Structures are given as C-alpha cells and as structure tokens.
Amino acid sequence: MEEEMETIKTASFEYLIGLATEKPEGGFVFILDGATYQIADLLEISRIAERHGYIVIY
C-alpha cells in the first residue's frame, strides 16, 4: 500500500500582499491559485490563504 505525500504550501504575508491590487473605488482585488476575491482589508488575505491550504509566514 502506497502512502500519499502531502504538499505543504507556504507563502510570506508580504508576498501575498503583493498579489493584491488596489481598486480606485476602494478595497482590493486578490487573486490566489486562480480564484479572485474582492476584499476590503488586506488582513483578509491570511484567512483566504489558509483556506487554500497555505501556511502564512509573517
């Protein structure tokens, strides 16, 4: 019986913030792993990344 290897994804918070684009009307567009999010605050990025299976490094 073969064991499956689990992939551990890590990303720095600074890198993730760099993926966000500020919108002229306010808020940000954040794209991670092909999924697009409309967020009001950059602090939401950590929670989104964790839902995608990332360990966020501060």
Condensed to tens digits (0 to 9), the pLDDT of residues 20-41 reads 999 999 999 999 999 999 999 9
Enter the DSSP assignment of 1.
Answer: -
Distance in angstroms between the alpha carbons of the first and the last residue of the chain: 38
Q: Name the more confident of 3 and 44.
A: 44
Q: What is the pLDDT of residue 23?
A: 98
Checking if the pLDDT of 5 tops 90, the result is no
Three-state secondary structure call for residue 38: strand
Checking if the pLDDT of 1 tops 70, the result is no
pTM of the model: 0.82
